[in-house]
């Protein structure tokens, strides 16, 4: 059945396949079928040019389609990676990193390198030099949930 449709459509079968793949991208988003669809459209362009040549068999067409699809996928992947998602809140999902540079008062003393501070409405475990409660400190780094502090 597919062979009959391809034979009736001739070189336009690649254009139809490309459009179907591009339409499928709308149903299943992920920006992957776009590159394969573009590969089919590029193969369709070559089919319009070479359809009458005996060397332009279905095997050659499939190899050209696979090559174009791979090339467009690699180019598309590189383009998508180079876009770089810049954000107005780069530390939005990195709460401890967003606390670096803040100052606070030690609520509990730092003993043997461990203590706690209260920033906003949260208690945070801290590491740093031994300091008494009430000392003004500055958050200098974050490691997971722990904050590294130094006297301010």
pLDDT digit string (tens) for 26-69? 888 777 899 999 999 999 999 999 988 989 888 899 999 999 99
User: Containing H/E element for 115?
Assistant: strand 114-119
Band (pLDDT 50/70/90 cuts) for residue 3 is low
Question: What's the token pair of residue 148?
Answer: 């590294």
- What confidence score (pLDDT) does residue 152 get? 86
- The dihedral of CA 36, 19, 42, 54: what is its sign? positive
For the chain, domain boundaries: 2-82, 95-151
pTM of the predicted model as reported, rounded to 2 decimal places:
0.54
pLDDT single digits (tens) 99-142? 899 998 888 899 999 988 988 888 989 999 999 988 999 999 99
Please state, in angstroms and rounded to a whole number, the distance separating the CA atoms of residues 123 and 21: 52
Beta-carbon contacts of 103 under 8 Å, excluding residues fewer than 6 positions away, are 136, 137, 138, 139, 152
- Tell me which fold the domain 95-151 belongs to: OB fold (Dihydrolipoamide Acetyltransferase, E2P) (2.40.50)
- What confidence score (pLDDT) does residue 52 get? 87
Question: What's the token pair of residue 79?
Answer: 């383009």
- What confidence score (pLDDT) does residue 58 get? 84
CB atoms within 10 A of CB 124: 21
């Amino acid at each position: 059945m597919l062979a009959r449709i391809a034979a009736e459509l001739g070189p336009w079968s690649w254009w139809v396949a490309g459009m179907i793949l591009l339409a499928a991208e709308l149903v299943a988003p992920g920006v992957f079928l776009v590159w394969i669809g573009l590969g089919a459209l590029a193969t369709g362009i070559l089919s319009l040019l070479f359809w009458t040549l005996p060397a332009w068999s279905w095997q050659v067409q499939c190899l050209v389609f696979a090559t174009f699809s791979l090339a467009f996928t690699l180019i598309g992947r590189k383009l998508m990676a180079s876009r770089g998602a810049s954000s107005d809140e780069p530390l939005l999902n990195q709460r401890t990193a967003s606390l670096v540079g803040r100052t606070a008062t030690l609520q509990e003393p730092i003993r043997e390198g461990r203590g706690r501070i209260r920033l906003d409405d949260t208690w945070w475990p801290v590491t740093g030099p031994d300091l008494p409660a009430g000392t003004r400190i500055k958050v200098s780094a974050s490691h997971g949930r722990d904050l590294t502090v130094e006297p301010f």
